[in-house]
Structure 1
Amino acid sequence: MDILKKLLLITLLTFSFSLYAGEPVNINTADKAALMSGIKGVGEKRADAIIAWRDQNGPFKSVDDLASVTGIGDAIVEENRTNLTTGEPQ
């Protein structure tokens, strides 16, 4: 039983460290591929919507503005908040 607990702990620790990929996604400059790979819950359609919103409205002033994009709600913003940036000091 102790071996199973240790194995589970090692697996969880390894997985949790792999979730942090490093640099946050800059929602004002990221291309489609970066948006899709860097934001959980964002696929091709949502990445296109983010870029279209940015093209029509200019840069996001805050991460919270991302929720204004059709198909992106508060839940996606909250789930990804620590990995998102506008490039501006907060």
Structure 2
Amino acid sequence: MLKNRLSSLLFAVLASLSLAATAAEPPKTESAKPAAVQAAQVATVNLNTADAATLQRELAGIGATKAQAIVAYREEHGDFASVDELLEVKGIGQATLEKNRDKLSVN
């Protein structure tokens, strides 16, 4: 009986020490990304200057046909006044615009 109590007590002490050691470790968080990586993630595509290849490569849901339609619209109507004007291009819908809104600019 004494042996069982000592075993239980020893187990409890070792388990507590294990938990304490684990809790004392600093949390493993993702390290901060370098500024260059952050800048690359927020880089925008200018609708008024990008060529069809750039539009196709950088924008989600934009293939060769839609990219060329964007360029043709710009050539026919002049520079885009706002990102929302992209909805005027045939084949570009609200869903496509929303997927790419953070990547687009008209500066």
Q: Percent identity?
A: 43
Equivalent residue, structure 2, for 1:81: 101
CA distance in 2, matches of 1:36, 1:77: 14
What are the ranges of 5 or more consecutive residues in structure 2 without an aligned counterpart?
1-29, 31-36
Aligned residue-pair number? 71
Equivalent residue, structure 2, for 1:31: 51
Q: Describe the superposition over 1:10-38 as per-residue Cα deviations: whole angstroms up to 9, x where unpaired.
A: 8xxxxxx8xx6441000110011110011
Equivalent residue, structure 1, for 2:72: 52
Q: Which has the higher contact order (CA 8 A, sep 6+)?
A: 1
CA distance in 2, matches of 1:74, 1:67: 7
Deviation >6 Å, runs of 4+: none
Provide TM-score, normalisation by structure 1: 0.72
CA distance in 2, matches of 1:36, 1:45: 9
Pair 1:68-2:83 in alignment: no
Provide TM-score, normalisation by structure 2: 0.61
Q: CA RMSD, aligned part only?
A: 1.8
Q: Which has the larger radius of gyration?
A: 2
